[in-house]
Chain A
Amino acid sequence: MNWLKQNYNLKLISLLAIVVYGAAFALSIYINQTEDKLLIHDVSRLFPDRVYEIVEGEEEAALVEAVKAAKENNLKISIGGARHSQGGHAFYQDSVFLDMSNYNKILKLDEKEKTIKVQSGVTWEQIQDYINPHGLAIKVMQSSNVFTVGGSLSSNVHGRDPQYGPLIETVKSFRLLKADGNVINVSRNENEELFELVIGGYGLFGVILDVTLELTDNEIYVSQTEKINYKDYPEYIIKQIANNDDVGLHFARLAATPDDLLNDMYMTTYRTIDKGDDRYPTNEDDYEELVELNEEQNVLRDKFFFGLSRKYDWAKNLVWDLQQKLYAEKEEGEVVSRNNAMRPPIEFLEYDSDKDTDILQEYFIPVDHFEEFVDGLRKIVKEDDLNLMNVTVRYTPKHNEGYLTYAKEDTLALVLLFNHELSDEGIAHMKLSTQKIVNQALELNGRYYLTYQLFPSQDQIRKAYPKIESFFKRKLEYDPNERFMNNFYERYAK
């Protein structure tokens, strides 16, 4: 009897404990996730700002309403997509923050014309999921697919397909919600000045509502990874990659390891194969399996190793060696669809330590000056003791469209991933080193990418982008009250 009663009590206690603890756990996670919503930051978590209000416009009417209300109450407006820009381009203190991520419907796919019309909060991943069954693929996007179309247009991004320059080349038209609350069509024939100002305009001219983009075929590629001396790379690019129709995607990596810092180089090229090729899938099932979209795997494992190499030099060397072995073994001759090649893993990069952060930078260097730049960069990284984690290189051909173009001649774009301390000294140190790297780029007639930190000086931005002054002037013409505001504009326009 007594035993029975005890047993009953035990069960009751257990049940109660599980229920209470479970609820508390869920609540804690919930609060942790939603806490301090008005404090907006980008993925690097540098320089957050508290905004006045967040508007999550799912409908166009709500966005129009928000713009009109901001005008009446004389509030600034900032616009955010996936918030992967890293200089406060997507938010501003005490502003009405338009979170575009819920404005994310796919509106129309035209298979014959190979175009798609989407709302600007749509991510590349959503588009890939949608068009993959139709045998179509994106022409230009970043090297991964987590970004929104609106954010990508506003930075005029570029990717790994050497046939294309920046995204603007593949945009047919879009609709823009202006500071006065009116909505207009923008294309190469209609409001054409805005076409070049808004794309690459960092949200300063209005809210991009929906966008029509060109698509291409979801080709089948075979990949090849080779080692190359970085000094030979420019020649290789011009001869083998540029204007070479069968190259679908191409990128290279430079070692960020202490042992071979910016010396060792591997490049990966995806070349188109046609039905006749013996590596092309022979039957329907194989084909289906090949084009099915991959999900990212081994996130935690990669996160762990990446975490180690953030801290230790030996781990950097180890990871680099392992990577090259894997590439050499596995990717040699791997057959892959364009869509799958255009969604490489990225989640493992997510990092949120309270004391340090990972930041990106990108430099566009005229092909001929690549070697000089790499040598100069190596010197700065060593002298300033920078924690360089990863370097990728892509070819970005010359382009003319767009107000703030970053490749006025054929360039090699170097993407640098640094880890640095979040302390004031850590930031000041990184800022100084960044200015040195920017100088190095400017001396070689190169540019830096505006979408990252606001470290470069007033002088440097004006040298890199001589049209920036008139860009800011146009901004004032279209938006005299500076309704659309962000930290980038505030830092450099005054």
Chain B
Amino acid sequence: MMANREPAVDRAFLKELTRVVGPDRVLTKLESRYAYGLDATYHQAAPDVVVRVRKADEVSRVLRLCHREGVPVTPRGAGTSFSGGPIPLAGGVSLALQGMNRVLEFSPGDSLAVVEPGVVTGDLQRLVEAEGWYYPPDPQSADFCTIGGNIAENASGPHGVKYGSTRDYLLGLEVVLPDGEVITVGGRTIKNVTGFDLTRLFCSSEGMLGVVTKATVKLIPRPESKVVLLAFFKDWAQGGRAVADIFAAGILPTTLEIMDDVSIRTVEEYGHFGLRLDAGAMLLIEVDGFIETMDRQGRAVSAICEKAGAMEVRVAHDPARQAELWKARKVLSPATSRLAPTRVSEDVTVPRSRLPELVVRLKEVGKEVGLPIIVFGHAGDGNLHPGILTDERDPDKWARAERAVELCFKHTIELGGTLSGEHGVGFMKSPFLPLEYGERAIRLMKDLKGAVDPKGILNPGKMFPDPRNPLRAGGPAAGAAVGQPGPAGGERHGP
């Protein structure tokens, strides 16, 4: 398969690219291209050439060129994807958008901002928060991922329970289609029902339908105050009951994070936060609103947790103490990544009421394949992050991890859930798409893709089961799995 792939570009093509962006922003050396072949998964495949664009016009001209020559193009933000999205499976061009990072407009009057796709999410958030506004989508990678990547993956984070995901804040987009044509969809108004909702179609299209070159995003007033609680429970059943009761009481928290016993213990060893080691589950709850309501909401949530059987509830009103309580959740990822050489992280999601059941099943999967699985995630929206502990260098353990992933997906779908709540399909989950969608629905998606991108040049090999997928075509590609320079990167020196 990829091993014998010929470079998708030739000298004449490179010359034309150079004419569009100048020689400094066309990278052809293998060592340079290599960095653009990876993301936060354990795979990589170097592109044949990297083009670092600065303007929508450049994007358009590059795409027109690629369209004419049939050269694959993979858009790239900060490369923090967990689904392999920005990895150029078919080689060709890696279209690097980080350089398009201007905030073009901030309009409190219309409560919106207009940004280029390379703007770092956290930078936008800080900019508007300083003025009393709030851009809520909060992937944990906000300090280094880009808005463009967030749109393409429809990213969200802990505050999703109350504030939803990226798509809920998109008013309009400027998109370059695979043939280089530039269109605008949506607009600057909160309400807009004219035509098909193409804005949402491009949102979570994983860079397969068009390249976002400008986004108009909705802002909301920054909440005045918040209260943070940490509650410890004997087990998940109790924790799950507290979660259900909080909603039943008419409280909509911004955050409802849950951690299992192993996570609690690991985080405690890592940071000494004074967590209860005898707890089987821990909830981190945040509620926001007007200052006057904080006390009341804090007490109400606290009482609900206690009624559900909490062994201890800690409440924080002042920001420093709140940050401390949050810390235990924030260090979870680095802390648990020490448990094993490799942690395979999933983001399966079920209806909230099925969460305790999913946890039981996930733990059983762990036993079945003989690998520890830690469980934590966003209990408020049913989005869990099971972490399968394995070793990328050990083929047997790796195979068992892949088996565990399959089982996780199976159980999730059985419980009425979805394969991915946040991270997207890419090629990490594409082999499993038929688990969740019927044949006709998949065909519709493919028809859509074909209508927009008849030559299939934009981010090929993703979303649908595909022979180019290093995961499933001819069994697990051991080379890719252990992070070797994929054949696309390692054995040739490019054009």
Genuine A/B complex: no
- List residues of B whose CB falls within 8 A of some A CB: none
